[in-house]
A and B are shown apart, each in its own frame.
Chain A
Amino acid sequence: MPDLIEAFHTALRLIATLDPGLIEIVVLSLQVSLLAVILASLIGFPLGGALAVYRFPGRGAVTAILNALMGLPPVVAGLAIYLLLSNAGPLGVLQLLYTPTAMIAAQMLLVVPIVGALTRQYCEDLLEEYDEQLRSLGASPREVTATLLWDGRYRLLTAVLAGFGRAIAEVGAVMIVGGNIDHVTRTMTTAIALETSKGNIALALALGLVLLATAFAVNGALMGVRRFALRLAYA
């Protein structure tokens, strides 16, 4: 309990004074996770849409795998990217290990299945309503996919939100591929892990509160967009 109270005070103090150390890790966390989510969505949207529209052998298996990958443990994703980027690995020549780029790649591995699987579900639901009309209009599968993705654009924001929530909160992946290097690859979550291991529980909790606040802020912004969409019957 005293830790929690101290944590609140510390959190408020860090925010109020715009502590440069805090700003640095918050900014890096947002940069990494936002970029990872944006890039993952660019992959996940067409992937999910195509999976909903195209019929091909093995479609069920691909869908099942994508759904299962939503639960990919972050530390496993981190390990996979580490093995790729390590100097002993195939992409070692890129010298990307222990950089924010590696962290973005690892988080993309986590977010693509989420955005893809949710997009597929939304598109399948939309297809129930639109299928006959679009076929009547002569739309090719590619055109149907594009139509569904644009039509469901506000609903797809929810998928993006889910992906972002996963990315901003994970520590396993960014710890392994980033190395938690001070001023270079230290994010909110890796900082929390570090302070906890040093026994600075109150500071760790404070950082946790800031992390929650950041996640709420991003959530709130996107939900605001959704509410605006609902009023226009675009949701």
Chain B
Amino acid sequence: MLDPTSPPDLSNASVDGASPPLPLELRGLVYETGGKRLIDNIDARIEERGITVIMGPNGAGKSVLLRLMHGLIPPSRGEILWAGRRADRELARRQAMVFQKPVLLRRSAAGNIWHALGLRGIDWSERPARVEEALRLAGLERLAAVPARTLSGGEQQRLCLVRALSLEPEILFLDEPTASLDPASTLLIERLLIKAQRQGIKVIVVTHDVGQARRLAQDVIFLHHGRVIEHGPAKVFFDQPRSEAGRAFIAGGLVL
């Protein structure tokens, strides 16, 4: 589980021994549906351990790309390889995802985490400890028995994040996790993501918020019309974006 007491660390190196199955390779990836091509022949390679942020204007295909990576939807053409392997059930168990809108069951906050641990086959004896730690991490200990769906938006999303983390994933996907949240919750979630990365989890976040990207990213993929326009270190992208679309996006303009 995460260690909340370790000091802030700006290096890329991981503290814990987690070794996610990198590099993630996308080869000739195409996704079409309803006659529209949403992902248009993407070739990419993600190998570094820092947080990767996928950015782009609305409709660029960011959410679709994330779901393809996580295996929620099958590609129309192309391949997705993790350290040279195709995704299978075993590999899928090492991943977790947080969605834009929090999805919680009609149970208590703690019950939701308990249920997820059950799906992963975590032993009954281990679960109470993991649930407690997860709630503490999210600052939700006092709300453990509260019906999860009555929590505020920020509390719900924090719960979804620590639920994902309680599964001890090696890859963590997030789709616009703080899009409709208050700043305090946003801050807490970003802190948790940084901590997660430091403990060796490969975090891949989709966001359209440039500020958030600046705060989190070590690696940036800029998407537009279903194609990768730019992919490189965050510093490079933000200081000297190579593409016109990238420049316009960072400047806050509308990118058509």
Q: Does more than half of chain B's interface fall in helix, strand or loop, or is it mixed?
A: mixed
CB-CB under 8 A from A233, the residues of chain B are: 106, 147, 149-150
Within 8 Å of chain B (Cβ to Cβ): is A182?
no
**Please, which residue of chain A has its CB at the minimum distance from the CB of B108?**
A232
CB-CB under 8 A from A139, the residues of chain B are: 119
Contact (A132, B150) CB under 8 Å given A137-B120, A138-B92: no
A232 touches B92 (CB 8 A): no
Partner of B106, one of A136, A138, A143, A234: A234
B147 touches A232 (CB 8 A): yes
CB-CB under 8 A from B93, the residues of chain A are: 138
Shortest CB–CB separation between residue B255 and chain A, in angstroms?
Answer: 27
CB-CB under 8 A from B92, the residues of chain A are: 138
B97 touches A136 (CB 8 A): yes
A143–B116 Cα distance when bound, in Å, is 11
Annotate A127-168 by CB proximity to B: 1 below 8 A, 0 otherwise. 001101111111100010001000111100000000000000
Within 8 Å of chain A (Cβ to Cβ): is B82?
no
A154–B105 Cα distance when bound, in Å, is 13
Shortest CB–CB separation between residue A139 and chain B, in angstroms?
Answer: 5
A234 touches B147 (CB 8 A): yes
Contact (A132, B72) CB under 8 Å given A151-B106, A233-B106, A233-B149: yes
Which parts of A111-136 form the interface with B (CB within 8 Å)?
Answer: 129-130, 132-136
Residue ranges of B at the interface with A (Cβ–Cβ < 8 Å): 67, 70, 72, 89, 92-93, 95-97, 99, 103, 105-107, 115-116, 119-120, 147, 149-150, 167
